[in-house]
Structure 1
Amino acid sequence: MSVLLPALAMSAYLIATAAVLLRLFHPAGPSFKLTFSAAIVGIIVHMLHLAGSIFTEQGQNFSLLNVSSLLSWMITVAVTLTALRTPTILLLPVVYGFAALMQLTILLTPSGTQLLPLDANPSLLAHILLAFIAYVLLIMATLYSFQVSYISYKLKHKNFTAVSQFLPPLLQAEALQFRLLLVGTLLLGLALFSGAVFTDNWLSKANLHKNLLSSVAFMVFAVLCWGHARLGWRGRTAISMTLVGSILLTLGYFGSRFVREVLLGSL
């Protein structure tokens, strides 16, 4: 099952990706029935594999590979649910393609082990959940910022193609982008605060890299939220700052663990 489930999930995600890309510029647009059907199958199978990988007899295994897969699953679910109500045709192949790549990584990479006794530490569980949800929302805001940039470019150049009819209005897309950014920033702040209060080793050498970069990312996002509300920041400024914050947050979440579990672990 450790091979079958990721292979099935990868196949389903690839079908969803191809269903969008192959008809992206078709006048009738992609087959959303096929796209979402394949995506839902991939999400369900992906979830089944995650459940078996994370919840083991020894405890909850939050290895780098499992955490990456979990975040990929959460982003895929969130974008899929959003796409059922708001047109996000440009984001779907990116998200589903990345989810398929994540499943391929699972198939090719041996899974490590990092057990966390979450059952006996509810405050740590709350901190991890806040951090995960904040990361998902901020990555979604980053993806939406690129979609906003594309829509704005098309409007300025009056270059309307077949794909344009499946995109949301600019103001709607921009409003959703900053709504995700605001909520994600607030949750990230709560995650950092809960980590500082409820974890004993928040400033330890092992966690300093993660917490420092995450704190800097939080400041970047917070300044952007303030600048948008007070000074009307948008466009390239918003995209650049969102991208910088997301890169810092990703390096904070995964950088040190990648070095420890992958690079040093292979020596």
Structure 2
Amino acid sequence: MIVISVLALAFYLLAIIASLHLLLSAKPTGQHKLFACVAFALIAHAITLGAEVTQTNSGQNLSMLNVASLVSLIISTFMTCAARRFNGWILLPVVYGFSALLLTASALIPSRYITHLEAHPQLLLHIGLALMAYSVLMIACLFALQLACLDRQLKSRKLSQLPAMPPLMTVEKRLFQLISAGLFLLTLSIASGLFFLEDMFAQGKSHKAVLSILAWCVYAFLLWGHHTRGWRGRRVISLSLIGSAILTLAYFGSRFVKEVLLN
């Protein structure tokens, strides 16, 4: 697994170089090299992560770093498949960089959080929906940052000359599409938790549910303001970043304290 991890890291680094070359070149050429490197990186990442999660016979190791690595794998896969349609080339170096960083951290910092998904299939459904919702909303966060950069350049009249830089209106449209999809998945995740998890609001776990619901309210408020009041620009960007911060705190806050700071 160490060899495969090193290969995944190497291909991620090659993908970062290829994506930067694609951004800086006068013509968007060399996409096949980028996709080849990413394909090998994603396959090696998935194999490594699968081994990390199933390394024990007593359950699945869903430690914070393993879960974060899984989220980065989902985001990298989605962004690679949607780069052309979403015109998100400029985000690829950031996405692949985070995947490489989390893959390295997961390999170098061993941690354990054993669960038994085979005995609780409803928990698998809840976790799956939660991870998909978080991944989509984190991609929306990246688009919000990209929108903020474009908005700032437009107002300062210093438009980027990068050929792969998308129009501001396109980024804004994709941002709302992603937030809508993420909010739908988050709704299903919260509903599945309320339906299947009896201890969702138990002591020591209630903060996750409360923060997740608070994040849901922020995203719902954002979409309501956009559709009824025509909110755009900085207000949308700020609310999107606030929602992603609250959701990250809900998913990883207590786990970070228990598994990293106190371990």
Please give the TM-score of this superposition, normalised by the length of structure 1: 0.91
C-alpha distance in structure 2 between counterparts of 1:6 and 1:209, whole Å: 34
Residue 72 of structure 1 is matched in structure 2 by: 72
Q: Provide the residue aligned with 1:142 in structure 2.
A: 141
Range that drifts further, 97-106 or 149-158: 149-158
Distance in 2, matches of 1:261 and 1:158, equals 46
The one-letter code of the counterpart of 2:245 is I
Aligned to 2:5: 6
Deviates more, 1:91-100 or 1:17-26: 17-26
Instruction: Work out which of the residue numbers 253, 256, 259 in structure 1 matches 2:257.
Output: 259
| Distance in structure 2 (CA, Å) of the matches to 1:142 and 1:30 | 27
Shift of 1:30: 6.3
Q: Note the 1:102-251 alignment, pairs <5 A.
A: 102-110=102-110, 112-163=111-162, 165-251=163-249
Question: Could you tell me which amino acid in structure 1 is paired with residue 190 of structure 2?
Answer: L
How far apart in 2 are the matches of 1:183 and 1:103?
Answer: 27
Check 1:5–1:206 CA distance in 2 against 1; reply closer, same or farther (3 A cut): farther
User: Partner residue of 1:37?
Assistant: 36
Contact 2:18 2:34 (8 Å CA) reproduced: yes
Unaligned runs of 5+ in 1: none
Aligned AA for 1:8?
L
Give yes or no for contact 2:22–2:31 (8 Å, CA) kept in 1: no
Distance 1:196 1:120, change over 3 A: same
What amino acid sits opposite 2:206 in the alignment?
L
Say if 2:150 and 2:159, in contact at 8 Å, map to a contact too.
Answer: no
Asked if structure 2 preserves the Cα contact closer than 8 Å seen for 1:19 and 1:30, the reply is: no
Aligned 1:46-57 pairs, distance under 5 A: 46-56=45-55, 57=57
Task: State the SS of the aligned residue for 2:25.
Answer: coil
Q: CA deviation at 1:17?
A: 1.1
| Deviation digits for residues 64-84 of structure 1 (CA, Å, limit 9, x no counterpart) | 121111111011111111104
* Farther-moved stretch of structure 1 (54-63 vs 231-240): 54-63
The answer to whether the 8 Å contact 1:201/1:207 transfers is yes
Report the Cα offset of residue 29 of structure 1.
4.6
Deviation of residue 159 (structure 1)? Answer: 3.6
Alpha-carbon shift at residue 59 of structure 1 (Å): 2.0
> CA–CA distance in 2 between the matches of 1:81 and 1:173?
17
Residue 11 of structure 1: CA displacement?
A: 1.1
* CA displacement at 1:22 relative to structure 2: 4.8
- For residues 5-49 of structure 1, what are the alpha-carbon distances to aligned partners after superposition, in whole Å with 9 as ceiling and x for unaligned? 221111111111122335633323563222222111111100011
Q: Is the 8 A contact 1:26 1:162 kept in 2?
A: no
Q: Indicate the SS of the match to 2:200.
A: coil
8 Å CA contact 1:27, 1:162 repeated in 2: no
CA distance in 2, matches of 1:147, 1:33: 24
Structure 1 contact 29–162 (Cα < 8 Å) conserved: no
SS in 1 for 2:205: helix
**CA deviation after TM superposition for structure 1 residue 222, in Å:** 0.8
CA apart distance, 1:113: 2.1
Deviation digits for residues 178-229 of structure 1, max 9, x if unmatched?
Answer: 0110111121122112112211211112212222211111111110011111
3-state SS of the aligned residue for 1:251?
Answer: helix
Pairs aligned (count): 262
Give ranges in structure 2 of 5+ residues lacking alignment. Answer: none
CA contact (8 A) 1:13 1:96 kept: yes
